[in-house]
Amino acid sequence: MANWTRRGFLGSLAAAAPAAPLAHPVRGRLPLLQKRAGAGPVKITDLRCAIIGRNPTVRIVTDQGISGYGQAESTKAYLKPMVLFYKDYIVGEDPTDVERVMLKIRRMGASKPWGAAVSAIEIALWDIAGQAAGVPVYKLLGGKIRDRVRIYNGGVRFPMTAHMPRDYAENMARMKEAKEGFTLIKQAVGFHNPAMMRAIPNAWYDEPRKGAPHADRGQMTERGLAHVIACVEAMKKVLGDETGLALDCGPGWTLKDSIKFARAMEPLNITWLEDLLTGDYTPYPNAELYRDLTTSTSVPIHTGEQIYLRQNFKDLIEKQAIDVVGPDPEDVGGIAEMKWIAEYADLHGISMAPHGIFDGLIGLAAHVHLAAAMPQNYIAFEYPVGQPDWWYQIVEGLPDPIVKKGFIDVWDKPGLGVTFNIAAAKARLPEQDRNFFD
């Protein structure tokens, strides 16, 4: 299909600067830095990666005094060598030619978690391009169509000591009163919530996995399915019709159990059911099974957080196998990759609700710019928080408060619009990364 293979977005770009219009956003040819004091094209001089707190953080250094930052999820500290692997491929390139740089490295990523290194580099390139042009990144994506973007709870969670229906009702009451004022709340249930499944005996026909994290899966028993349904009913009773409820379910369910559960959820007006069949660290989608599920229920079906690159969304979208697609910009290949998927999904009547729970504060900035420029199939993105809390002391440029009544106001500072307080950040660097900001 021609529209699939052509790298580009529909529509035209907003002008980045009075001096000259910008070229296509994905191809990334931006005649920018050479305008500065007669300088030639900017060049990448270094690629660095530091583990700051829990997040692998990327810095792309240029010969004209601009650095761009990207980030991978806080669960992926092991990615540092993968990020640095790409250094020889991008040093000497013009970072404002985003697509030219990405053509050199995109082919060497893979499904979650291995696409994260490529994604973090791509986000840092857009940060440089925006700073060089003197415009926010959303301008390079075609301009914003919304001045504030809706979020749903990601990293904002409250501890639970038990996992019966009354416990989930109490937890939802706390979440409903959270200072962020969420208009949409997502809760893990089923196999995506091992504590829920293990709260009662014999919830499914298999034994719980032991050792390193590994997803349980199998056919649920009657009592296991009834327990999950009861927990959801208790949560929805608290939230009423004032706050939406989405459910992160798996993967691990059988198709038949998924259909039973989805039909049980129909009277509750659940916003979506996520990753019932595949998802998270499953290195493939399964469009045929998802199509069977989606056509069997009126509840929207969601997946996509683990998928790398647009090509791997092709079957899900073209077969209309799901109702909501949820890539993570820090896994899918970056900002431009995700914008293209959003446009293509919109052509097929599919909504966007991006994943992002562990994406950190630089990832948060990337989400905001991307969400501002997404088409009208956008629902909300999953709100990441700084981990540890001292991240809020080393990053500058975020609004205060960040979230107002479930939304984030889109800011207009160049690039991603967030910067490091270098002195404060240096104090948090591990010894092996002490030269990250030098």
Residues carrying CATH 3.30.390.10, the chain: 2-140+429-433
Query: What is the pLDDT at residue 22?
Result: 38
What torsion do the CA atoms of 252, 257, 261, 266 make, to the nearest 10 degrees?
120
Mean pLDDT of the chain: 92
- Amino acid (one-letter) located at 396: E
Residue 305 is given by DSSP the state T
Task: Tell me the per-residue pLDDT of 362-387, one tens digit each, with 9 for 90 and over.
Answer: 999 999 999 999 999 999 999 999 99
Length of the chain: 438
With 50 as the cut, is the pLDDT of residue 20 above it? no
Task: Tell me the per-residue pLDDT of 51-107, one tens digit each, with 9 for 90 and over.
Answer: 999 999 999 999 999 999 999 999 999 999 999 999 999 999 999 999 999 999 999
With 50 as the cut, is the pLDDT of residue 30 above it? no
273-286 burial code (b ≥16 CB/10 A, e <16) = bbbbbbbbebeebb
Mean pLDDT to the nearest integer, 112-120: 97
> Any bridge partners for residue 253, and if so which?
218
With 80 as the cut, is the pLDDT of residue 143 above it? yes
Q: In the structure, what pLDDT confidence band is assigned to residue 40 with cuts at 50, 70 and 90?
A: confident
Query: Do 129 and 357 meet the contact criterion of CB atoms below 8 Å apart?
Result: no
Task: Tell me the per-residue pLDDT of 239-257, one tens digit each, with 9 for 90 and over.
Answer: 999 999 999 999 999 999 9
Query: What is the pLDDT at residue 299?
Result: 98
Query: What is the pLDDT at residue 83?
Result: 98
Assign domain 2-140+429-433 one CATH number from 3.40.50.2300, 3.40.50.300, 3.90.180.10, 3.30.390.10.
3.30.390.10
Exposed, middle or buried: residue 414 (CB in 10 Å: 0-12, 13-18, 19+)? middle
Q: Where are the beta strands (DSSP E) in 124-203?
A: 148-153, 184-188
| Per-residue tokens: 172 | 């939802």
CA 51 to chain centre: 19
Query: What is the pLDDT at residue 37?
Result: 43
Mean pLDDT to the nearest integer, 204-228: 93
With 60 as the cut, is the pLDDT of residue 38 above it? no
Query: What is the pLDDT at residue 214?
Result: 81
Task: Tell me the per-residue pLDDT of 279-338, one tens digit each, with 9 for 90 and over.
Answer: 999 999 999 999 999 999 999 999 999 999 999 999 999 999 999 999 999 999 999 999
Q: Where are the alpha helices (DSSP H) in 240-329?
A: 255-265, 287-294, 314-318
Alpha-carbon span 292 to 321, nearest angstrom: 8
Mean pLDDT to the nearest integer, 351-366: 98
Alpha-carbon span 346 to 278, nearest angstrom: 22
Q: In the structure, what pLDDT confidence band is assigned to residue 39 with cuts at 50, 70 and 90?
A: low
Contacting residues for 342 by C-beta, under 8 A, at least 6 apart: 352, 374, 375, 377, 378
Query: Do 384 and 360 meet the contact criterion of CB atoms below 8 Å apart?
Result: yes
Mean pLDDT to the nearest integer, 143-154: 98
Return the SS3 of 218. strand
Alpha-carbon span 395 to 218, nearest angstrom: 44
Pairwise pLDDT comparison (24 vs 130), residue with the higher score: 130
Q: Where are the beta strands (DSSP E) in 35-183?
A: 44-52, 55-62, 67-71, 148-153
- Amino acid (one-letter) located at 361: L
Alpha-carbon span 129 to 17, nearest angstrom: 12
Residues carrying CATH 3.20.20.120, the chain: 148-415
With 70 as the cut, is the pLDDT of residue 8 above it? no
Return the SS3 of 408. strand
Helix (H) or strand (E) holding 407, with range, is strand 407-409
Alpha-carbon span 2 to 144, nearest angstrom: 27
With 80 as the cut, is the pLDDT of residue 278 above it? yes
Mean pLDDT to the nearest integer, 171-198: 98
With 70 as the cut, is the pLDDT of residue 18 above it? no
With 90 as the cut, is the pLDDT of residue 16 above it? no
Which CATH architecture is the domain 148-415 placed in? Answer: Alpha-Beta Barrel (3.20)
In percent, the amount of the chain with pLDDT more than 70 equals 91
Mean pLDDT to the nearest integer, 31-35: 43
Query: What is the pLDDT at residue 80?
Result: 97
